[in-house]
Chains A and B, each alone.
Chain A
């Protein structure tokens, strides 16, 4: 140890270690067990702390920041309720493999296990929803633990890591030599860095031999920063691409070869193509139940290639014929090189005639029941907006170039269907856990990461009200987020299921006129509010909202939409991917 080694308290070491890990923002909320740490934050300038209004929102902000940047989001909460409030956000990040480091205060080591005030076993409570967790025993471990936590959170299949910090280990009176490790090696954790060469060659052959191929991309392609490589492979071959909810934007959504999202509310053409394919080329997707419908009836004729960083995702739901475990940013370039060389060597592959026939079928499906089908027939009557029209207006007003967060429910599906993302990390939503209340705080995290970007939050009044206290945080930090509230005065997706499966009995899914005046609500926090209910004024309002007029303002648009609209297509439960309800039974 050199003579210059600084001696710091545990609290100061923690914050210094965050600086050394490259952290820009901490999203947090103080409390007793975290006060030494908060004092350390006060005495430095390099890391900016954002004071939230609820710990759940802190985790979603860190999550939004991570999704938009690829860097781990950082959360700081106190013990007990602070920690448990954070759990929903940790689980949200876990399900979508988002890198995050959550630091929770804990009662002092000597009080652990005594049911002390604000004590909760955070390592135990969070265990099923973290990639890993630490309980700090000695202050001197803090720099190492922080370095390991960032390494684990951001490598392999990313995920949240919790560091539970007992108050005594941050005692300002106790000093320790500080040294941040240059690198981390763990004998028990070595994420795969390359795919198996032989498997990659097999996958390339399978691609070239396919007659009815579909490339099926997921969130892993976004996380692995390999969207552009995949796009060039798909374009080189001329193959159709579909994406999960989580993968939108990795392959440009406005390209003609993009079939739209697949799955429960996926497009007709994407689901039909999946069912009838002879090759499914899955990249960073996990064959989620919202995609496959009944796995036993999944794509009966298809050979399955599955590329994923996580071996546990492969052959979990659907058996892969050619599994490749590895990071997409190394597997895909290698694959591209092989496909390129093979195409140059033997220009007869892929079979252009078969591919043209395949596209003919796909185009026919698209023409018959493509997404605009519904709207062509139901151009909203005056006084009633369709939610799809609102999303399309947002798309037009932002030139398709905004960061868009969403909450969970019908509005989420409409946003995924009708906002065509051309770039990865632009679509920020809770796909796996389906966390209502995610949208606004996630948008805030995105706005912190990209202060000059246009950030829209497409939400519904049900989801919005789960974290609307953050309007106050937006006021404090002057965040110019544009909130588009698809207000149908109901929990739309619940109501839709009740319409379709419970004889229209709307058990506790409507608010019975007990909603606030959202325009006034926004105004009370110093923000701008709009109400829109006519199609005729929709584009003008959106032009205002996203134009220079409100460049620095948070704008809340309360869009009153047709409360009876359903999301279609919708998978028929227990069927194959081809089995969909396409429109409301008349």
Chain B
């Protein structure tokens, strides 16, 4: 019998508790920094780019630790991070 999706999600989070804790902490830190520097567009953009780069590094680290490292996965993280950077640049630094 197939297990529910929540089981897979819990398993994923439980097995990689430290990794996700790190990502969520960085995310909260990102939001706090944005809030502190809100209205200062250049700093907001630097904070965004820093978080995006952290995310790529997190992806590489996570997959190395899990022994699932592959160039394709790294490219996926880089692409998603850069899509977000370009899209938000239009909003933050038009």
A and B: interacting chains? no
